[in-house]
Amino acid sequence: MRLITGGLATILATLALASSTFGAVNTNTNANTNTLAGTVGPGYTISMNKKTVKAGTYVITIHDLASIHDFHLTGSGVDKKTSVTGMGTTKWTVKLKTGTYHFVCDPHRTIMHGVLTVT
């Protein structure tokens, strides 16, 4: 019986240590981070993953999938864009205020545009 109790105590101690170690891995994540994602291309499309958000600071990840487009975001205090010839992923940190923000592909603005509303 002592052997079973000792073995059980060792197993429980190991599990307790492992769970505290794995729990520590996630303590640096911030669940309150505001994020948005925008995509331009590969065809003649441009979009954001949300149409309406609350005012605040956001990290916006832009996926530029075509060398003939850019992603240009403008609005109160914001004027950010990717390059037309560039491709890849870009991250911007912006403070969005209440109002309307527009995103367009500058070379194709008549057919590639959208609106983000901030409340």
Select from 37, 111, 47, 101 the least CA-distant residue to 74: 101
What's the maximum distance between 2 C-alpha atoms anywhere in the chain? 80
**Six token digits for residue 19:** 């769970």
Instruction: Place 14 in a pLDDT band, splitting at 50, 70 and 90.
Output: very low
Residue-wise pLDDT for 17-48, tens only, equals 444 444 444 343 445 679 999 999 999 999 99
Helix (H) or strand (E) holding 44: none
Residue-wise pLDDT for 82-115, tens only, equals 999 999 999 999 999 999 999 999 999 999 999 9
**Six token digits for residue 8:** 């059980």
Average pLDDT of the residues of the chain = 83
Q: Hey, is 14 helix, strand or coil? A: helix
Helix (H) or strand (E) holding 8: helix 2-25
65 CA to centre of own chain: 16
Give dist(CA 21, CA 4) in Å, integer.
26
Name 39's bridge partners.
47, 63
pTM exceeds cut of 0.75: no
Q: Count how many residues are written for the chain.
A: 119
Report yes or no: 70 and 46 within 8 Å, Cβ to Cβ: no
Least-confidence region, from 6-15, 69-78, 91-100: 6-15
